[in-house]
């Protein structure tokens, strides 16, 4: 069920569903991928989850602008930190005002993580009965992604093997592989190695031009459309599993819900 396609009297019959909201961005993705890459990928994952859980999901429109100031050197459209927190807060409040009590924020951009978590803390205090889950698709599908990837540690970060592969599977006309360059921290070791599937033991804010000459972090040279289909299937399966568990109440604790 698609929220944007409902008429207002139909909303009432959908209130038992999980409202899934994809979170994207509009930012540089190296010299070879379009700015809407994050939004394109997370929107497709969310659409497929909705199709596979037709009686449990209400799909809200994707949010195409995220928190991306670290990409400003290369190019982005970004909200400020407080503004993005306000966006998430207002989004969830408006969904809750319609009567929904379960919201799933399916994230497609790493920069959205910190402001979303902070906004969720504030919303929990304000509306303790509202249930909100936030998850990034690559974290959910990390085990499967490890099995699919062929790039070295540091090869998956931004405009990398995974994102380039999925865009080759979804929008090949928008990918310019001739312009792709392996860049960033692949080949580094220890604390200097950055990879989306490798948890960092510390937190440090760095702009992308401090990490990469091209805006890419990783090895898009390993990308293929065949891998993209596999990455996409794995992300959908992982996201569907968590959404289904949320819908079934399996993320609650005892009778304290």
| pLDDT beneath 50: ranges in the chain | 257
Altogether, the residues listed in the chain come to a count of 257
What gap in Å lies between CA 66 and CA 41, rounded to an integer? 14
What gap in Å lies between CA 240 and CA 242, rounded to an integer? 6
Going along the chain from its start, the domains and CATH numbers come out as 3-199+208-247 (3.40.50.10310)
pLDDT of residue 252: 87
As a whole number of angstroms, the longest Cα–Cα distance in the chain is 57
What's the pLDDT tens digit per position in 161-197?
999 999 999 999 999 999 999 999 877 888 889 999 9
pLDDT of residue 185: 82
What gap in Å lies between CA 144 and CA 197, rounded to an integer? 11
pLDDT of residue 257: 45
User: 């929107």: which residue's tokens?
Assistant: 43
Phi, psi of 198 (to 5 degrees): -120, 110
pLDDT of residue 199: 86
pLDDT of residue 253: 77
Strands 26-27 and 76-77: antiparallel
pLDDT of residue 254: 64
Of all residues in the chain, what percent are helix, strand and coil, respectively (each to 5)?
Answer: 45, 15, 40
pLDDT of residue 169: 98
Residue of 179, 183, 178 whose CA lies nearest to 160? 183
Residue 254, exposed/middle/buried by CB under 10 A (0-12, 13-18, 19+)?
exposed
- Say how many Å lie between the first and final Cα of the chain, rounded: 25
Q: Which residues have CB under 8 Å from 222's CB, separation 6+?
A: 149, 150, 151, 155, 161, 165
What gap in Å lies between CA 217 and CA 208, rounded to an integer? 9
Q: Which residues have CB under 8 Å from 248's CB, separation 6+?
A: none
What gap in Å lies between CA 85 and CA 146, rounded to an integer? 31
pTM assigned to the model: 0.95
What's the pLDDT tens digit per position in 90-108?
999 999 999 999 999 999 9
């Amino acid at each position: 069920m698609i929220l944007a396609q409902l008429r207002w009297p139909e909303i009432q019959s959908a209130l038992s569903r999980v409202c899934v909201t994809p979170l994207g961005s509009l930012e540089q993705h190296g010299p070879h991928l379009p700015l809407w890459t994050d939004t394109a990928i997370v929107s497709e994952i969310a659409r497929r989850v909705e199709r596979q859980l037709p009686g449990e999901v209400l799909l809200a429109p994707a949010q195409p602008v995220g928190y991306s100031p670290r990409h400003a050197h290369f190019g982005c459209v970004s909200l400020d930190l407080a503004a993005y927190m306000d966006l998430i807060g207002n989004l969830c409040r408006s969904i809750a005002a319609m009567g929904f009590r379960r919201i799933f924020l399916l994230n497609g951009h790493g920069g959205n993580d910190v402001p979303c978590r902070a906004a969720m803390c504030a919303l929990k205090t304000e509306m303790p009965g509202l249930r909100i889950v936030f998850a990034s698709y690559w974290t959910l599908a990390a085990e499967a992604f490890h099995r699919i990837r062929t790039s070295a540690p540091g090869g998956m970060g931004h405009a990398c093997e995974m994102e380039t592969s999925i865009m080759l599977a979804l929008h090949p006309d928008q990918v310019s592989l001739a312009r792709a360059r392996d860049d960033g921290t692949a080949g580094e070791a220890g604390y200097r190695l950055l990879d989306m599937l490798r948890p960092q033991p510390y937190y440090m804010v760095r702009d992308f031009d401090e990490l990469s000459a091209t805006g890419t972090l990783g090895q898009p040279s390993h990308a293929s459309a065949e891998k993209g289909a596999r990455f996409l299937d794995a992300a959908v399966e992982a996201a569907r599993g968590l959404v289904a568990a949320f819908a079934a109440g399996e993320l609650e604790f005892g009778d304290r819900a």
